[in-house]
Amino acid sequence: MATVRTGARLHIGFQNLSLAHERLYGGVGVALEEPRVVLEAHPADTIDTDPVVQTATERAVSLLGVSGARVRLRRALPRHVGLGSGTQHALATFAAIARAYDIDASVREHAPALGRGGRSGVGVGTFETGGFVVDAGHPTELFTTAPPEPGEWTVPSILARHSLPADWRFVLVIPTGITGEHGEREDRQMRSVVERADPTIGEELAVVLTHQLLPAVADGNIEQFGHAIEAVGRLNGAWYADEQGGVYRPPAGDLIERLRDESAVAGVGQSSWGPVVYGLADVDQIDAARTAATDALAAIDNDGEVLVSEPRNHGVRYD
């Protein structure tokens, strides 16, 4: 048997979505300790798996050339809310089955065949190493109006990776009754965004990344880091506004405005397509940040969940 443990990720945004620049996408994100994935795999003659990872199990068994696997998802991420559930579940499944059979197989190499890493490399990067990661994106010339078939791409390389300070915390606000975009609908909306994207936003993001975000994470400056991730999210939202109903996907905008008013919160944003909203706070200020998040949900009459997580500065763990 093999057990794999990994965590959620926040997708802060992309560096560029305009076809006018040489590189496309280029994800920016952070690995979290919570919520997390705990998945067990056993060698088996047939496939016996949780429905959530059925497709991932079938693909992993085929890719690894084994007879089957018994897979149990002991802890799972909430699906389609912006925490990277699809990638983390798929990679954990592949890694656990490979480990159960004592096969040395690269998760990064096989991620495309699992249908992961086609645009952003953040999910694969945080699975591998944890921490704050920036990926290199794809050459813009490879963009096609129809999505490529699984396996017809390589996962973007990691351009920068930093551990985050141990005393930083992320408060996560997860509204109920709402899911972010995924699957074919997400593909259509992303193509629409890319085809219309304003190139000047990518130029602004390049300045934020190099002059604000990377220096802040290198120095461990929480206020500057918080300011920079807000800017990345807001600029990305300008690209997505027509597709998601505003700079932030409702009700994320209301939650972000309320969290932004809390002095304990250094920076706020929407992860991926949402609806998850996150706030960054120092560990000494996390109680106030948590209360502000709970009050923000109550103010919009949503009985969602508030979680607090440490950054995860390590990659996947095996038992």
Q: Which domains occur in the chain, in start order?
A: 2-318 (3.30.230.120)
Q: What pTM value is reported for the model?
A: 0.94
Rg for the chain, CA atoms, rounded = 19
| Region for residue 258 given its phi and psi (left: phi exceeds 0; alpha: psi -120 to 50; beta: otherwise) | alpha
Separation CA 192–CA 96 (nearest Å):
36
Tell which residue, 214, 257, 216, 217, has the closest CA to residue 234. 257
Tell which residue, 227, 222, 239, has the closest CA to residue 24. 239
- CA angle 169–205–153, rounded 5-degree value: 90
Centre a 10 Å sphere on the Cβ of residue 102 and count the other Cβ atoms it contains.
Answer: 8
pLDDT per residue over 130-164, tens digit each?
Answer: 999 999 999 999 888 777 776 677 999 999 999 99
pLDDT for 209 equals 98
pLDDT per residue over 89-126, tens digit each?
Answer: 999 999 999 999 999 999 999 999 999 998 999 999 99
For strands 69-75 and 168-174, give the pairing: unpaired
Centre a 10 Å sphere on the Cβ of residue 236 and count the other Cβ atoms it contains.
Answer: 25
In the numeric block, the tokens 């390589």 are attached to: 154
